[in-house]
Structure 1
Amino acid sequence: MTDTKIPGTPRSRPDASERELHTAYDTALLDLDGVVYAGGDALPHAVASLRAAEADGMGLAYVTNNAARTPETVAGHLTSLGVPADASEVVTSAQAVARVIADDVPAGSRVLCSGGEGLRVALRERGLVPVDSADDGPVAVVQGYGGPDMRWALVSEAALAVSRGVPWYASNTDLTIPSGRGIMPGNGTAVEVVRLAAGREEGPVVAGKPLPPMHRETILRTGARRPLVVGDRLDTDIEGAYAGGVDSLLVLTGVTTPAVLLAARPDHRPTYVAADLRGLLVPHPEVVRDGDGWRCGGVRALVRDGRLAVEGEGDALDGLRALCAAAWTDAGEGRCGLPADEALERLGLGA
């Protein structure tokens, strides 16, 4: 591993690791949707990769912004897919926001819960009482993803309470969530509905990724000393790792496309890049300066005539890593706006 970054330091290229990542880090902090599964079904290579990493001694923790399900339910789902998991290995944004609320209000307080069973269980775990109506005397309002069957009435009650000035919290504000059928609305969409309906300019106190309460919850529950965040989203998984000062692996099985990765702002640039979770089990090649460009493996990337370009032949992911170096170096502390469609097509990665 090289060039490990700290918060506030722009990353100019993906890092290298001479060791397989599952032996270089003690715990993988894995996002679920878009990383391990999509729409409930395991993603290709996910189960075999996780079983191999765990068998070799790597700790696995499942860290999700999805607040709908309880840790027991998530662990049961993972086990059914072939990845044996215990509820203690699951950390949710519901748990993180429940801890934040419990720090702010007296024990036994009523909290209007606009969310699913996972959020209700997390509130009870912290000695709070979930209620359903703005007329039930809540001292706080909390929103969390309630699944595709989320009741509109709960969103309406949350809006009523927030409009009355009740303190407002959210497990997370992800606008979308991946599914087996495509991208669906996430909790952030419901949060925006409440904000608009309540006439609020500012949003709620948020606990989930990429914010510190989620990182704190994860470290408290896992005890990880050298964690590696593994995710598919730049604005939650990778930004959360950056904010926490820990390394990250982006897998391209979820919402982030190669083109979006090339345009990533500094706090959205991952330490490592892989096609899928097999990236945990292999070393990662070095990206090196090569004249006016960057080389990884047999592929060289550079800026030519105002566009990102690639030369040579080699692995497509090596080419993407080299392109990241060319794009991020050109962008510095901003976003790269150079066209990359031709370079990505040449690598077989599309736009």
Structure 2
Amino acid sequence: MQELKSIYEITKNFDGFLFDAYGVLVDEQGLLEGATELLSHLESIGKPFWMLTNGSSKTVADTVKRYRNMGLPFSVDNVITSGALLSDCLDQLTEPGQAIGVLGTEGSHQLVRDAGRCPVAITESKDFDILVIANQTDYDFVPALDAALSLAIDRIDRGLNFTVVLTNPDLFYPKGENRFGITAGSVSLILEECLKLRYGSLPPNRIIKLGKPFPPMFREAERRAGSKRLVMVGDQIYTDIKGANDYGFQSVLVATGLTGREMLDSLDDSLKPSYFVNHLKES
């Protein structure tokens, strides 16, 4: 691991840059220092960049609109969300028009519609065998999770299929200085651990995970870039850094989000970033 004084030291070393959103470019308070300046610099030297976000509460168009309103130069061509991977995943699991249970926002429901399926609220229907866990908000948490667990156990006990598609594997995220919140990964983890307690283990592919650190998002980034000489800039070891390292990308840990420098010495080498930097500012 190389410790950088500035991320600008490596801007010419790669064919493209991949950025996480929360904790790297923004938090719930707004833009993080240095974000817009770094992206402008990359544009000026002809280096393409993409946002890779596990967020799946909005459509890609709405995600782009939100970040452009904050002053970040993104378009639908260089934003890859975990929700955008949903269509290909569902094509492998279901026929068009099938009902899909959804835990998430209206934007999460729209992602399922855009994939050619019919989203249903889990507390209103039991006529589905695939549950998409996309977000932790905009539904009555405990009743919805109770309904999901009950339906999963009922179907598994009867020898029927029940598959969870988790678009956002993040467990928590930075909301601002010393403030954090849980995400969809924590919702799925509750369900997963309950099912493990009942059945001992879960069959392969019972829970399908799409976002970082899993390969689909990095595979899509490589496809768009036409190169594997990419570097992932993130703030989370077990999603951004591990995912990039496992896929064969270089990685940069920036200390403006969940992980500080003090954690790195105790990590296995496979989890350490290629580079560490305190922030995205030029100096």
TM-score range, shorter chain: 0.7 to 0.9
Match of 1:265?
A: 268
Question: 3-state SS of the aligned residue for 1:131?
Answer: strand
Greater shift in the superposed pair: 91-100 or 226-235: 91-100
Change over 3 Å in CA distance of 1:118–1:215 after alignment to 2: farther
Deviation at 1:15, TM superposition (A): 8.1
Could you tell me how far apart the structure 2 residues matched to 1:219 and 1:40 are? Answer: 31
The aligned counterpart of 2:187 is 190
Residues 289-319 of structure 1 deviation map (CA, whole Å, 9 limit, x = unaligned): xxxxxxxxxxxxxxxxxxxxxxxxxxxxxxx
Structure 2 vs 1, CA of residues 77 and 223 (structure 1 numbering), >3 Å: closer, same or farther? Answer: farther
In structure 1, distance between residues paired with 2:106 and 2:224? 20
Q: 1:53 aligns with which of 42, 63, 72?
A: 42
For 1:79-94, what aligned pairs fall within 5 Å after superposition?
79-94=68-83
- The 3 A distance-change label for structure 1 pair 260 and 98 is farther
Once residues 279 and 40 of structure 2 are traced to their aligned partners in structure 1, the CA distance between those partners, rounded to angstroms, is: 14
Cα gap change, 1:128 to 1:230, in 2 (>3 Å): same
The match for 2:148 among 149, 158, 164 is 158
Larger Rg: 1
Aligned length: 267
Alignment check: 8 A CA contact 1:109 1:128 kept: yes
TM-score by length of 2: 0.84
Q: What is the aligned partner in structure 2 of residue 74 from structure 1?
A: 63
Give 1:319-338 correspondences, 5 Å limit.
none
User: Compared with structure 1, are the counterparts of its residues 119 and 266 closer, same or farther at alpha carbon in structure 2 (3 Å cutoff)?
Assistant: farther
For 2:168, the equivalent position in structure 1 comes to: 172
Q: In the alignment, what sits opposite 1:100?
A: 89
State whether residues 252 and 273 of structure 2, in contact with CA within 8 Å, keep that contact through their aligned partners in structure 1.
yes
Q: Percent of pairs identical after alignment?
A: 25
Computed over aligned residues only, the root mean square deviation of the Cα atoms, in angstroms, reads 2.6
**Offset at residue 222 of structure 1 (A):** 4.8
Q: Hey, what's the Cα distance between the residues in 2 that align with 1:171 and 1:195?
A: 15
User: Is 1:68–1:118's contact at 8 Å kept on the other side of the alignment?
Assistant: yes
TM-score (norm 1): 0.69
Q: Letter of the 1:275 partner, please give it.
A: N
1:272-291 residue CA offsets vs partner (Å, 9 max, x unmatched): 1111224xx69xxxxxxxxx
Does the C-alpha gap of structure 1 residues 249 and 99 become closer, same or farther in structure 2, counting only changes over 3 Å?
A: same
Tell me the amino acid that sits aligned with residue 148 of structure 2.
A
Once the two structures are overlaid, the 10-residue window that deviates more, 233-242 or 151-160, is 151-160
Which whole-Å CA distance do the structure 2 matches of 1:223 and 1:117 have between them? 33
- 1:216 corresponds to which of 203, 219, 230: 219
Equivalent in the alignment of 1:247: 250
Pairwise CA distance, 1:162: 1.9
Residues 109 and 139, structure 1, Cα contact 8 Å, conserved in 2: no
Offset at residue 217 of structure 1 (A): 3.0
Instruction: Give the distance between the partners of 1:224 and 1:87, measured in 2 at CA.
Output: 19
Matches within 5 A, 1:230-309: 230-278=233-281
Say whether the 8 Å CA contact 1:46–1:276 is kept in structure 2: no
Q: Report SS of the residue matched to 2:180.
A: strand
Aligned partners of 1:141 and 1:161 also within 8 Å? no
Match of 1:141 in 2: 131
Distance 1:160 1:219, change over 3 A: farther
Deviation at 1:38, TM superposition (A): 0.8
Q: 1:196, CA displacement in angstroms?
A: 4.8
Residue by residue over 1:15-64, the C-alpha shift from the partner in whole angstroms, topping out at 9 and shown as x without a partner, is 899x9422221221110010000115111111111111122211121111
Q: Which moved more, 1:63-72 or 1:188-197?
A: 188-197
What runs of 5+ residues in structure 1 fail to find an aligned partner? 1-12, 283-351
